[in-house]
Each structure stands twice: as C-alpha cells, then as structure tokens.
Amino acid sequence: MSSFLKALAPILVAIWSVVSAAAEPNALAQLGAGGAVIDDKSGAVEIRVALSQAVPWRVHLLNGPPRVALEFGELRWSEAPDVRSASVTDVMTERHDAGWSRMVALLQEPLDVETAEMTVAEGGSAQLVVTLVPVTAEDFREAAEENTPLFAAKGAGKGLPVITIDPGHGGRDPGAQADGLSEADLMLDVARRLKDDLIRTGRYDVVLTRDEDVFVPLEQRLTMARDAGAHLFLSLHADALAEDAGSASGVTLYTLSPDAEADAADTLTERHDGTNVLTGVDLTDAGDDVTLALLDLARQDSVPRSDALTKALIAAFQSSGLALNSRPHRQADLSVLKSAGTPSVLVELGFLSSVEDRERLNSEEWRASASLAIRDAILLWSDEDRLLGEGFRR
C-alpha cells in the first residue's frame, strides 16, 4: 500500500514514441480507459496513467535537463500521453530495462514528486497518480542525484503476502505420463509462468517448492510453505486415469475434506515440534489440547477461504474459456493440502489420459492462459479476502 503549476500557457507539441505490440510481446498491462494524462491541478502538475491491471512501478527524477520518469513492469504504450500542462514541454515512452517500460516527461521548470499512488479497482484495473510540485533548482538536483526511486510499489521482502506454488512430482517421481508428456515437467512450466505472472503484479512474493526437476517429499513441501510464512498454498497437478477407470477431462479443483482436516491436526500435533505446526505461531510450550484448539480455530479460518479461492478459480477458468471438469470442485484427503491455517487448493489442470487434455497441456499458449487465469483468480480472491478483514493478514 503506498502513501498518499501553473496557469495554462500555450500547449507545446508532445513528442512520444510508441513501442509496438510486436516489440513488446510480453507486456503485462495495457493503457486503460482514459490513457495517460498530464494536467495542472491546484498549483501542481498531476500525471494520471490508467492501466488494464496493476503492475510494479517506480518514479525517478532525472537531471540535465530536469525530467520525471514513470517506470512500469510492464506496460504497453498504445497511444500518446495527453499533455495539457505547460510545465511539461516534451514526453516520450519507451522500452527500458528488461521487463520495464517507461514514460519520461521533460519539465519546463524544476518539479519534485509530492505524492505517488497506484489504486486498484474492484474489476482489477488500476491507476497511477503522481503529483509534482515546484521546487528550487538545487532541491531538484539533490533529489535527482540520489538516483533511487522516490516512490515505488512495495517490493518482495517488504511485507507482501507470500504465495507458495507447488509443482507436483519431480525427479524420480515424474507423475502421470502419456505420449512423451510428463506431469512433473508440465506443472513445473506452469508454476514458473505463474510465479512470473504473480510477481509482475507487484502484489505478492512467490516461493516455489521446486524450481527444477528434482524430487521433493510431500512433507518437505508443506514445511517449505510454513517456513516461508505462506499466506496461500497452491499445488499444481495433471492426473491420469487407468484404462479401466472410465474417462475424465478438464480442470478439477480439490480442497481438503472435513474428516481429513481433523485427522491432519492430530497428525501434526504428534509429529512436529511446536515451531513447525502453525505458521507464525510458536507452540513449543503449549500442550496438545491447546495446540489442537488453535489448529481447530485455524481450520475454521482457512477452510472457507480455500473454498472462496476455489470459486474464484472456477470463475476465472470459465471466463478464459478453459475447459472445466463436469464436477470442478471436489474434496479429498490429500496430504499436500494439510498445511494448518493456510488456505490451500490443489489445481488439477487436466488428465493426461484424455486426448483433448493432452493436446491442451502440450500447448504453450494453453499453459500461459491457464497461468493467467490462476493469477486473475488470486487477484480477485485476495482483494475480497482483504475486504472481509480476514485474509493476507499475518
């Protein structure tokens, strides 16, 4: 969460450069309704940039001549900024560092950044508003020489919610296999895409339980999530049915069954020391009764939140035109979902025993679409979770 010039003169020509879609194939966001506007407001200059969705951002001052740079990770500039302030004599947009694009405004006079804030609407669109105020040439030069962002979106390691993504199987356990496809390889690809998609929103820190083709025991995956202080645990899989087990296809989402929740609490109490049971809580000196009571309270919190995320995932897959199973939400006694107090969902992205699902899973375009659908669901869910006053709060 971020904290929150003059009278009109003859308008000078705004010069800008648009980076084409072909040159920016991976741009995450596009300009939203209203585009980018630079205008005078109450003795200050206000820069408003509407985006299709939130992205990481930062604001710099540049010296010789005085300029202000707004950088986005990453935004496709599809039209010229609308310059209505005489305090800005020129503006350009360009692809900057890898994964970043920027708008640079040439200033008629020294201006410093008073406020900069990105807000996100309920539907996911966003707007960055930057306010510039007059300062002396010396003050501007000192601010510009610091060469660090004056304002920026929160970065990883600064209190962002942590999402643990668990690509199923790996190493000596390839998971389901068919026609040369491996569940472990496919899920690792989706997990990497999803990590990038989530990080580029600037709203989450993301941990993978594995980032290469290695075997990681189930218990260790849960321990990694707890050690990372995970606020959400998402496990990715692609199942396969035996030939005599009928047929199934489409995305299926699993949450922990009620009976399994109670069993998991007993097992955690028996098998773990007090520092490795409940994220963020040291139960070293607590007895079993206290530990079980706290785990029960944690379950009461995490179960409805897991169900809410599942609903958001189903809606996101539907709106993206990605095939769902005929019964998309199921409950099961799955070890990987037994992370106490943490909303957890297992996403079965299809069945390798299905010809149609194999074709989809083998498509890079489909895997990219699936990753974006999951990202959109998490964005929606985390916003609603926060509004309810119960989510992403540890």
Q: Where are the chain's structural domains?
A: 29-152, 162-387
* Average confidence (pLDDT) over 245-274: 62
CA-based torsion, 358, 360, 365, 367: positive or negative: negative
> What is the CATH code for 162-387?
3.40.630.40
Angle at which helices 258-271 and 288-319 pack, to 10 degrees?
A: 130
CA 365 to chain centre: 19
In which band, very low, low, confident or very high, does the pLDDT at 96 lie, cut at 50, 70 and 90?
low
Burial class (CB in 10 A: 0-12, 13-18, 19+), 11: exposed
* Average confidence (pLDDT) over 91-96: 84
Please give the pLDDT value at position 233. Answer: 94
Please give the torsion angle defined by the CA atoms of residues 365, 371, 376 and 381, in that order, rounded to the nearest 10 degrees.
Answer: 160
* Average confidence (pLDDT) over 161-171: 93
Bond prior to 81 in cis (omega within 30° of 0)? no
In which band, very low, low, confident or very high, does the pLDDT at 154 lie, cut at 50, 70 and 90?
low
* Stretch among 38-47, 156-165, 238-247, 258-267 having the lowest mean pLDDT: 258-267
* Average confidence (pLDDT) over 150-159: 56
The kind and range of the H/E element at 271 are: helix 258-271
**Structure tokens that stand for 88 in this block:** 């800005």
Check pLDDT > 50 for residue 289.
no
Burial class (CB in 10 A: 0-12, 13-18, 19+), 43: exposed
Q: What length is written for the chain?
A: 394
The span from the CA of 163 to the CA of 342, in Å, is 10
* Average confidence (pLDDT) over 35-55: 92
Higher-confidence position of 267 and 209: 209
102 φ/ψ angles, rounded to the nearest 5 degrees: -150, 160
Please give the pLDDT value at position 298. Answer: 40
**Structure tokens that stand for 104 in this block:** 């640079």
Please give the pLDDT value at position 334. Answer: 80
* Average confidence (pLDDT) over 350-354: 94
190 φ/ψ angles, rounded to the nearest 5 degrees: -65, -40
Contact 94, 17 (CB under 8 A): yes
Please, what is the average pLDDT of the chain? 79
* Average confidence (pLDDT) over 212-219: 90
Nearest to 311, CA basis, from 238, 366, 384? 384
Higher-confidence position of 56 and 68: 68
Please give the pLDDT value at position 191. Answer: 96
* Average confidence (pLDDT) over 181-188: 97
Number of C-beta neighbours around residue 2 at 10 A: 14
The span from the CA of 24 to the CA of 5, in Å, is 34
Please give the torsion angle defined by the CA atoms of residues 130, 133, 134 and 137, in that order, rounded to the nearest 10 degrees.
Answer: -50
Nearest to 102, CA basis, from 132, 76, 129? 76
The span from the CA of 312 to the CA of 381, in Å, is 6
* Amino acid, single-letter form, for residue 268: L
The span from the CA of 41 to the CA of 43, in Å, is 6
Higher-confidence position of 306 and 148: 306
Percentage of the chain with pLDDT > 70?
Answer: 75
Residue 202, C-beta contacts closer than 8 angstroms, at least 6 positions apart? 54, 55, 56, 57, 73, 153, 154, 155
Report the helix count and the strand count for the chain, using DSSP H and E. 7, 19
Please give the pLDDT value at position 24. Answer: 37
Percentage of the chain with pLDDT > 90?
Answer: 48
Fold for the domain defined by 29-152: Immunoglobulin-like (2.60.40)
Check pLDDT > 90 for residue 136.
yes
Nearest to 251, CA basis, from 343, 329, 337? 329
Nearest to 350, CA basis, from 336, 366, 337? 366
Please give the pLDDT value at position 264. Answer: 39
29-152 against 162-387: fold identical = no
Token pair 């000192």 is found at: 142
The span from the CA of 351 to the CA of 238, in Å, is 5
Check pLDDT > 90 for residue 110.
yes
Check pLDDT > 90 for residue 95.
no
The span from the CA of 152 to the CA of 60, in Å, is 9
Burial class (CB in 10 A: 0-12, 13-18, 19+), 26: exposed
CA-based torsion, 376, 378, 382, 388: positive or negative: positive
The span from the CA of 262 to the CA of 259, in Å, is 6
* Average confidence (pLDDT) over 325-332: 92
The span from the CA of 358 to the CA of 351, in Å, is 7
